[in-house]
Chain A
Amino acid sequence: MLLFILKRLLWAIPVLWLVATITFIVMHIVPGGPFDAEKQLPPEIRANIEEKYHLDRPFHTQYLLYMESLIRGDLGPSYKYLGRSVNDILADTFPVSIQLGVIAFILSLILGMGTGLLSAVSKGRGDWIDKTSMLMAIGGVSIPHFVLAALLILILSQTFHIFPPALWEGWEYTILPAVSLAAAPAAYMARVMHSSLINVLNEDYIRTCYAKGLPLRTILFKHALKNAAVPLVSFSGPLFAGLITGSFIIEYIFSIPGMGKYFVTAVINRDYPLIMGVTLLYGLLIVLANLAVDLLYFFIDPRIRKR
């Protein structure tokens, strides 16, 4: 087991190297550079800036220089935010995104699995529960989250003054953005849970349980749920990585100082080091989350263990 984890962690190195290399190449191919601006720079000043950031060097030299500083753990200076290093920026904003992301993740797990479970069990009996939860799920996923956020703000803060409409000053400020973030994944989880639970309930071992006269609750929680959750597990790994690295739109609407915005703004600004920084961090989290997912498979479904 320990060996497995160690091996996977070692694998993170080539994965991240590949991510870094491809991103580095793509970002330099994409037209437009960090210092193209509406007010065009005189060539002399442009040359000064490019020299300062080594942008005048040949491509492979830039790549080697970047990789060298990356190995030292230095993600370089931001081109857009002068005087701030990418390390500083990530250290400032990542914790905020983690806080919001974790809350949203838990919320979507509870909502998604709960609704899925409820609707699957009530299928065939209380049909309306099934139908309503499905409608809710469809609503959750087909309402764009910027619209959901705008609706929540309109109702809960503008009309009833229950939650603040934006900013990041205390726990009450986390509710609306977390709900907006959680809605779509929760809806998806509910649907997946619903469909996979029904599949599992049709399997022979569950039928055996019925035949043995076990109560529904025991069958569900002791036997069915674990198996039904497998597709959710592989979904929730990347979901978790995605949620804790923040969302551009939600941070934008609620003015939250997280790092999600950089996935868009760094690209728009062609802030090369910052693009690399957020990408590598996200890549690392993806690797870790997927490792966690694979470990979870071991625990949940013993049959996978004997590969």
Chain B
Amino acid sequence: MIKRHFVLLLLLLPLIWLSSCDLQGNHINDLQTFRMAVSSEPPTLDWNLATDSISIRIIENLMEGLTQFDQDLNPVPAVAKGWKVSEDGKTYIFPLHNSISWSDGKRVTAHDFEYSWKRLLNPATAAEYAYFLYDIENAYEYNSGQIKDPSLIGIKAIDDTTFEVRLRKPVVYFPSITTFTATFPLRRDIVEKYGDHWTDPANIVTNGPFLLKEWRHEYSLTLTANKDYYGGRPKLDAIRFYVIGESTTALTLYETGGLDMVSLPPLAIPHYKKHSEYSHHPFLRGYYYGFNVEKPPFNDKRVRQSFSMAIDRTAFPEILKGGELPATSWIPQGMMGYNPSIGLSFDPAGARALLREAGYPDGSGFPEVTAVFSTNPENLLIAQNLQAQWKKNLGIEVKLDNQEWKVFLKTLQTNTPPIFRLGWGADYPDPDNFMNLFTSTSGNNRTHWKNREYDRLVEAAAMEQDLEKRKRLYDQAQKILTEENVPIMPLFTNAQNLLVKPYVKGFRPNAMDITYLKDVWIER
């Protein structure tokens, strides 16, 4: 008898222990709390080190830098009052507001920028985005260890409210770069005092509309309104970001009232298309297939052109359902320089003719090629569709190889496949961020394609002050990239598909997929 009770007790003990455990999170039902999902834990909130869209999305609500971009993605002043460029275009002076303060009351000064930028470039910081500042004098040399003295870098706080940057060459889009989170100011005292833990809610010091209140790792982040924000206290009392990996889970939560905004998974889009809470927005992210131009058969540009012309790009929005925009040119819609008339459009007959010219009539004699991509549902669908289209329009059977993500990256580096899938999302809203990708010096150009004329055009465009002339330079460069040489074939640009509750007001998504929440409020 005693024994049986003992067993029962054994079974019950964990239950008793469990009920005593603190499972209770703090429910927030406050009227002015905005709840949204992010798809994974932000790897870091250290803005010198953050590289991913989730960290950046959170940091953008905590912090402000010299500039920020407006609804049309033009850089406008933020902590800086504006900027002055020298005659030769190589020196930028940013005068700062003198009334902006950190969350602990101290003033934001030019020294905070100087410290942040030098920390970003310090080899010991090992920041991935240090190269954003490589256009600055001696920045590259310092980051690569060729010089040891940071005072030689062209970054200087002249006084508390004047920040000076000296560039190696004129860069017309420099104020766009300073919208990027990695360039936001940093407090030396805080970073040095708390080390790796300076981003913990108890330690972090920020200057933006919201403050980091709580960070439950892998679960949620809570931000509260900064009543001392120089632009006026935001209307929301709090924002809660839940870390929700599975998009259908987020959707269910939205529908059961647990979230105020959600990004729709592809297969749900048709169901909500007519819904009043649905909205659709362009997104500065290009989706492309690249060719290894050094390996036959794709060392022949006629073959590359033929492959690009054999694709009916209108199939993609039908398959993915997300309002993707088919694209034959590389600069995405919503960015300066966008020109949809550039690129090779669908022409199966022309494609077959080119293939015949290259020596493979109706695909006969074409060597076996494998298209390689990393696995996700979107890539899988697109790859299989491309495979079918090439088979149908060119008579060529392309093999597919979907690789696990890191294996795929290794393959790209060490043994670039003949055809591969990649994408590019904007870091800052300037076409240079897209066009620079395929210059011969770019580390992200995996096609092995090198073209002097293209390099020259892109470099000239970066220095060109006149908008119209700059656009023409990009047009020329895009023609080389997507019509004449075709090291890549752009397929489409992604889109955002959102559901937002009707009581959420003032919410304006932008094409950078960064959600500024300072102007949002809730009205029930």
The chain A residues found within 8 Å of chain B, CB to CB, are 30-33, 36-45, 48-49, 51-52, 77, 80-84, 89, 92-93, 95, 99, 102-103, 106, 109, 150, 153, 157-158, 161, 164-171, 173-174, 252-255, 257, 261, 268-270
Contacts and interface: CB of A to CB of B under 8 A. Distances in A.
A168 B406 contact: no
A83 B43 CA distance: 9
A257 B127 CA distance: 28
A170 B196 CA distance: 31
Contacts of A41: 128, 443
Nearest to A77: B196
B245 interface: yes
Interface in B402-428: 404-411, 413, 422-423
A93 B218 contact: yes
A52 B25 contact: no
A99 B253 contact: no
Nearest to B199: A83
Contacts of A150: 248
B309 to A, nearest CB: 27
Given A165-B258, A166-B249, 5 more contacts: A36-B413, A49-B126, A93-B217, A261-B245, A268-B406
B24 A99 contact: no
B249 A254 contact: yes
B2 interface: no
Contact of A36 (B11, B14, B15, B410): B410
A167 B218 contact: no
Contacts of A253: 246, 249
A257 B405 CA distance: 23
A48 B24 contact: no
Contact of B144 (A40, A44, A268): A44
Contact of A255 (B123, B130, B245, B410): B245
Which 9 A/B pairs are nearest by Cβ-Cβ distance? A32-B406, A44-B144, A257-B219, A83-B196, A82-B44, A36-B409, A48-B126, A49-B126, A257-B218
B123 A44 contact: yes
Contacts of A40: 413, 443-444, 446
Contact of B126 (A45, A161, A165): A45
A223 to B, nearest CB: 14
B444 A165 contact: no
B84 interface: no
A261 B244 CA distance: 12
Interface of B: 11, 14-15, 18-19, 21, 23-25, 27, 41, 43-44, 46, 49, 51, 123-128, 130-131, 140, 143-145, 196-199, 216-219, 242-246, 248-249, 252-253, 255-256, 258, 404-411, 413, 422-423, 443-444, 446
A42 B445 CA distance: 12
Contacts of A174: 23
B217 A169 contact: no
A227 B246 CA distance: 43
B245 A52 contact: no
Contacts of B44: 81-83
11 contacts: A31-B406, A36-B409, A43-B443, A44-B144, A48-B126, A99-B23, A165-B252, A167-B242, A167-B258, A255-B244, A257-B217
Nearest to A262: B218
Contacts of A95: 21
B24 A170 contact: yes
A153 B11 CA distance: 28
Nearest to B24: A170
Contacts of A254: 249
A45 B128 contact: yes
A158 B25 contact: no
A99 B21 CA distance: 9
Interface centre among B219, B255, B256, B258 (most CB of A within 10 A): B219
Nearest to B52: A37
Contacts of A164: 256, 258
A85 to B, nearest CB: 9
A103 B444 contact: no
Nearest to B423: A38
Contact of A261 (B51, B128, B218): B218
Contacts of A39: 51, 128, 444
A45 B144 CA distance: 7
A61 B144 CA distance: 25
A45 B131 contact: yes
Contacts of A83: 44, 46, 196-199
Contacts of A99: 18, 21, 23
Nearest to A102: B14
Given A82-B44, A166-B244, A38 B144 contact: no
A161 B255 CA distance: 11
Contacts of B51: 37, 39
A173 B126 contact: no
A106 B198 CA distance: 41
A99 B14 CA distance: 9
B25 A169 contact: yes
Interface centre among A82, A95, A164 (most CB of B within 10 A): A82
Contacts of A44: 123, 140, 143-145
Contacts of B199: 83
Nearest to B27: A169
A33 B406 contact: yes
Nearest to A255: B244
Contacts of A36: 406, 409-410, 413
B443 A42 contact: yes
Contacts of A257: 216-219, 243
A83 B410 CA distance: 26
Nearest to B41: A81
Contacts of A52: 124, 126
A167 B406 contact: no
A171 to B, nearest CB: 6
Contacts of A157: 252, 256
B196 A82 contact: yes
A269 B407 CA distance: 10
Contacts of A31: 406-407, 410-411
A169 B196 CA distance: 29
A44 B146 CA distance: 10
B197 to A, nearest CB: 6
Contacts of B18: 99, 102-103, 171
